[in-house]
């Protein structure tokens, strides 16, 4: 984000969404429905995990002239966290029509496919997401997320050892993925690797404490 709205964006990233919204309302009153400003209003709620409040702002950002394409991506995640899988998928697909190489949007579609039990689509989407995220040196945590969710595809297909390997790779990148740690522990138990499973479970609890004590990370 650059130009007149850069400071508003920085406020949101700094954990000050309230002051950012005050400034954004002033900007919108003066400039009208600017897609970037509407997106930032949505983002200010999204960062607070107030997803129902974020949705209409992202929708307005996409309806603006010109629209602001990243809003469709965040709209997909907002709908996902609101439990609206159909709207989430539509928003992610809309975003890919605008930006077909956004790895996190392919990841979102992969997660949706995994959760509805479509393992073939989930695997294809997550493979594409992994390829795209690995091309971005600033996306190591994105790589870790994809590896962790792709392990679930392998598990459901009966490849427990392959799933364990992917989880180990994911957790070597991001040790705070506590849900992945718990899955890792469970799969190690299934594989009869009891001592390793115990270590993985301890790591899971430690990671959960770290993340929850920091109030989680933005989604």
Residue-level pLDDT, tens digit, the chain, 219 residues: 557 899 999 999 999 999 999 999 999 999 889 999 999 999 999 999 999 999 999 999 999 999 999 999 999 999 999 999 999 999 999 999 999 999 999 999 999 999 999 999 999 999 999 999 999 999 999 999 999 999 999 999 999 999 999 999 999 999 999 999 999 999 999 999 999 999 999 999 999 999 988 764 443
Look at residues 197, 207, 186 and name the one whose alpha carbon lies nearest to residue 144.
207
pLDDT in the model for residue 3: 75
What is the SS3 assignment for 158?
coil
Where are the alpha helices (H) located in the chain, listed in sequence order?
6-13, 17-31, 35-46, 51-63, 70-81, 85-98, 103-115, 119-134, 140-156, 160-173, 178-190, 194-213
Full residue range of the structural domain in which residue 11 is found: 1-75
Roughly how many angstroms between the first and final C-alpha of the chain, as a whole number?
19
**Angle at CA of residue 148, ends 113 and 49, nearest 5°:** 75
pLDDT in the model for residue 219: 39
Q: Is residue 16 part of a domain?
A: yes
What is the spatial distance between Cα 110 and Cα 96, in angstroms, rounded to a whole number? 13
pLDDT in the model for residue 2: 58
Q: Is residue 150 part of a domain?
A: no
Tokens of 49: 């995990």
Q: Is residue 141 part of a domain?
A: no
What's the CATH number where 44 sits?
Answer: 1.25.40
Rg of the chain (C-alpha set): 19
pLDDT in the model for residue 1: 58
Q: Is residue 186 part of a domain?
A: no
What is the spatial distance between Cα 163 and Cα 153, in angstroms, rounded to a whole number? 8
Q: Is residue 67 part of a domain?
A: yes
Overall domain count for the chain: 1
Whether 184 and 214 have beta carbons less than 8 Å apart is answered as: no
- Any idea what DSSP says for residue 64? S
What is the spatial distance between Cα 27 and Cα 16, in angstroms, rounded to a whole number? 17
pLDDT in the model for residue 4: 81
What is the spatial distance between Cα 179 and Cα 196, in angstroms, rounded to a whole number? 16
Q: Is residue 165 part of a domain?
A: no
**Angle at CA of residue 164, ends 163 and 170, nearest 5°:** 90
What is the spatial distance between Cα 119 and Cα 104, in angstroms, rounded to a whole number? 18
Q: Is residue 133 part of a domain?
A: no
> How large is the angle between the packed helices 160-173 and 178-190, nearest 10 degrees?
150
Q: Is residue 30 part of a domain?
A: yes
pLDDT in the model for residue 218: 41
Whether 214 and 208 have beta carbons less than 8 Å apart is answered as: no
What is the spatial distance between Cα 30 and Cα 179, in angstroms, rounded to a whole number? 45
């Amino acid at each position: 984000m650059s130009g007149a709205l850069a400071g508003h964006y920085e406020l949101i990233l700094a954990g000050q969404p309230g002051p950012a919204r005050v400034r954004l309302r002033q900007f919108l009153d003066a400039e009208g429905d600017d897609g970037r400003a509407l997106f930032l209003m949505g983002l200010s709620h999204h960062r607070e995990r107030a997803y129902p409040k974020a949705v209409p702002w992202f929708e307005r950002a996409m309806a603006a002239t010109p629209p602001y394409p990243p809003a469709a991506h965040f709209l997909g995640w907002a709908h996902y966290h609101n439990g609206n899988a159909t709207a989430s998928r539509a928003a992610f697909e809309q975003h890919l029509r605008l930006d077909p190489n956004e790895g996190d949007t392919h990841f979102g579609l992969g997660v949706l496919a995994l959760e509805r039990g479509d393992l073939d689509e989930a695997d294809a989407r997550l493979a594409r997401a992994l390829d795209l995220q690995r091309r971005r040196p600033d996306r190591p945590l994105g790589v870790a997320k994809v590896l962790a969710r792709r392990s679930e595809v392998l598990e459901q297909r009966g490849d427990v050892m392959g799933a364990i390997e992917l989880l180990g790779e994911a957790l070597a990148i991001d040790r705070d993925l506590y849900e992945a740690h718990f899955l890792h522990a469970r799969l190690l138990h299934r594989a009869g690797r009891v001592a390793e499973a115990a270590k993985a479970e301890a790591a899971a609890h430690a990671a959960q404490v770290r993340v929850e004590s920091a109030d989680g990370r933005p989604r």
